[in-house]
Structure 1
Amino acid sequence: MSKCYNCDTTLTESNRSVEHIILNAVGGRLKSSDLLCVGCNSKMGNSADAELAKQFQFLSGHLQVKRDNGAIPTTKGGKLADGTEINLLSGITPSLAKPKFSVEQEGDKLVYNVVARSDKEMKTILEGIAKKHTQFDVNHAMSKARKGVERLKEPVSFSQVFGGKLAFRSIAKTAVNFYLYNKGDKENIRHLLPYLFEKDDLDVVKHFHSKKSLYKKEAGEIIHLLHIVGNKHDKVLYCYVEFFSTHSYLIMLSEKYNGKNIRYTYAYNIISKSVVEKKVNLKISRDTFNKLSSGMQDYFLLVKEKTDRIMKIANKIHTNREIDNITSRAIKDIFEIKYGHEELITQQMIDEFTERIANDMVEFMYGNDVKDI
């Protein structure tokens, strides 16, 4: 029978919890119900997990990483150059984070400028104006409101921070869970439990980016990777954790390891949504680990290079998906809705279909910047 590795309670159908070894929020699919009881799981690392998920929310959204329930949460925290706050719905669609509202004095009149995200929101704002100005006609104003979708003509910027004490606890929990998932001896990690429960501070997690790739990368793949090493000669037990083929960390699980030599690896390709085989070439001594910095300033250029790679992959996926959507919409509108009653496909239908595809492609690629020639 499995036992909770924190309180040693025997796990049953009624008290066992399903633990995502890699966070669900970043697309983790490796899980276990043989690690923690419901009570301990509810107390361990919720704030740490939330912090790590927040740090990776932009990458998760941009790469269209779905959670177990199929949802892609809204990415928050974007800004335009003028300070306007922008959210990315489902990770990729820009939307105002809140309505825009301004008042200007023009002679003896007050002019209200309102940008809302829905009819309901617009009406609520206008009703608020009507409370101050009893002659204001809400229904008339609603009828004059211009509806539409506008293409952003400037980039949305996001400020991101990776690492820190709180996020490091979540990363350490991933390493501990992966070790125990592979039937590791919990006595080797027992000293870390107060740290995972935020009752102690330990310097056991470090940013780590090797100049030489630790494994063979395939074109177009983006992976989460876990790699455990136990070295009985050096008496060290450590774990390498990599998220999105970009941000990587070393976790020293024990400097008094007395078990057998072990190596366990797990890699999940978030693009193909499949487990992949990876041979990881990594050997770290105790001294090497202790000399590593807890910050990532030493790795800025390496992280930028890795980030540029996955952004190119993501942008290519978005482009291909939108081209498919443009084609599907044109087929439906032209051949199914407009000419669905016709038995034969005519040249006129083909011409309309071709023109529709061309116009939509130009709009997608260049937006409103294209001028008639």
Structure 2
Amino acid sequence: MNCYVCNSELTKENETEEHIILNAIGGKLKSRSLICKDCNSKFGSRVDNKLAEQLNPICNLLDVKRDRGKPQNVKATYKNKEILIEPGGKMKLARAYTHEDGKVVHIESATEGQAVKALRGLKRKYPSLNTEELLENAKRKKEYLDSVSISMNFGGKETTRAICKMAVNFFIFNGGDPKYIKQLLPFILGIEEEAEVYFFYPRSELFYKNEKDILHTLLLVGDPNHRYLYVYVELFNEFKMVVYLSKEYDEEPIYESYHYNVITNQVFDYSTPVRIQRKDLKKYSTNELDIKRFQERLKSLLQRIDKITVDRRISEITNKAMEEMIKRYPQEDNPYFTEEMIAFLSERVAVEFVLSFQNRLNTP
């Protein structure tokens, strides 16, 4: 195998592992037969980093599995307070908030460390404060927020280049001839500003997904009759783009697909090929992101994520309650469920359910 950029032979000395779908967004498809180390360094990480940054809120909420590390925390707001969302959706105050009401000072913080820092600041203003006593008497409670606001965007030159690189990698990975992608390399490298990379938002889904499926999809299609060669890229169901590799394709028909479920971490195939009609390719491909359409689809994705995180939270609550019950009532001493054990388990589950889901029971 040769590097598709410089055509040098790939050896153990110069080969490098390349993720076809970014590992930062949960991609697992990778190869050591695409590109050499020198050319990979020319591409750099800037292009990939921008796409990973834009999709990080989704990665965070789903706590996507990566080879190394976890998704970064996401900043959000709640009633004018800055919130940090940790991977998996757990939220906490980004810092302590202090409110003075006459002679009463309220401090709200996520950790004792934040509270100590806030108290030290207050002690400079009120030297007589006994910070140790205040910490000892502080009320510790757990609350779940009803909703927070997250800002998110998608698109731009760097992101478009990252999608183009993904398409090129998938084409070469499937045995494609590098001659069809040479014209795209200057665009990926940032030397040229334009390439045929389009946002794609059809009126209906191209293929079926159940309500808890969230997929990364790549489709490679070569059609000598219409002379086009393209890759369709769909990330997290709703970030959809088409990359034209060539409009002069005249070789054998090509169809290759890759579907990866980021929830179950499974690769699977559809029994019938996913086809995009030529008229739809023209009608729904645009240079600019349709903000209204994108917001609709993003809302749908977040609703899907919400259902998944609720199921995960229910599982966490029940598993944790079972562990606490087993710890309190060892199995060797309690081979059968007793009424006391059932009451303990029910109480632990009920408390956590109310804390986690009380906002869903609130009516206007």
TM interval, short-chain normalised: 0.7 to 0.9
The Cα RMSD (Å) is: 3.0
Aligned partner letter, 2:169: N
| TM-score, reference length from structure 2 | 0.86
Q: What is the SS of the residue equivalent to 2:286?
A: coil
For 2:13 and 2:126, locate their aligned partners in 1 and report how far apart those are by CA, in whole Å.
60
1:16-95 mapped onto 2 (5 Å cutoff) = 16-44=15-43, 46-69=45-68, 71-80=69-78, 82-95=79-92
Deviations 1:134-178 (A, max 9, x none): 5554434433443333221x4111122122222111111100000
Equivalent residue, structure 1, for 2:321: 330
For 1:218 and 1:368, locate their aligned partners in 2 and report how far apart those are by CA, in whole Å.
23
Deviations 1:316-365 (A, max 9, x none): 33223222222223223234324657345433333333333333333332
Equivalent residue, structure 1, for 2:274: 280
Q: 1:293 aligns with which of 279, 286, 292?
A: 286
Is contact 2:73-2:85 (8 Å) kept?
yes
1:243 matches 2:243: no
Equivalent residue, structure 1, for 2:188: 196
Is contact 1:22-1:29 (8 Å) kept?
yes
Equivalent residue, structure 1, for 2:115: 122
For 1:213 and 1:364, locate their aligned partners in 2 and report how far apart those are by CA, in whole Å.
33
Equivalent residue, structure 2, for 1:361: 353
- Count of matched residue pairs: 359
Aligned partner letter, 1:207: F
Q: What is the CA-CA distance between 1:291 and the residue it aligns to?
A: 8.4
Q: 1:98 aligns with which of 95, 98, 106?
A: 95
Q: What is the CA-CA distance between 1:225 and the residue it aligns to?
A: 0.9
Pair 1:193–1:318, CA change in 2 (3 A): same
Q: What is the SS of the residue equivalent to 1:85?
A: strand
Q: What is the SS of the residue equivalent to 2:39?
A: helix
| TM-score, reference length from structure 1 | 0.84
Deviates more, 1:337-346 or 1:44-53: 337-346
Deviations 1:219-277 (A, max 9, x none): 53221111112233433221111111222111111233344322211111222221111
1:225 matches 2:217: yes
Is contact 2:224-2:250 (8 Å) kept?
yes
Structure 1 unmatched runs, 5+: none
Equivalent residue, structure 2, for 1:347: 339
Pair 1:263–1:340, CA change in 2 (3 A): closer
Q: What is the SS of the residue equivalent to 1:242?
A: strand
Deviates more, 1:84-93 or 1:71-80: 71-80
Is contact 1:211-1:302 (8 Å) kept?
no
Identity %: 31
Structure 2 unmatched runs, 5+: none
Deviates more, 1:117-126 or 1:207-216: 117-126
Answer 1 or 2: higher relative contact order, Cα 8 Å, separation at least 6.
2
Is contact 1:221-1:271 (8 Å) kept?
yes
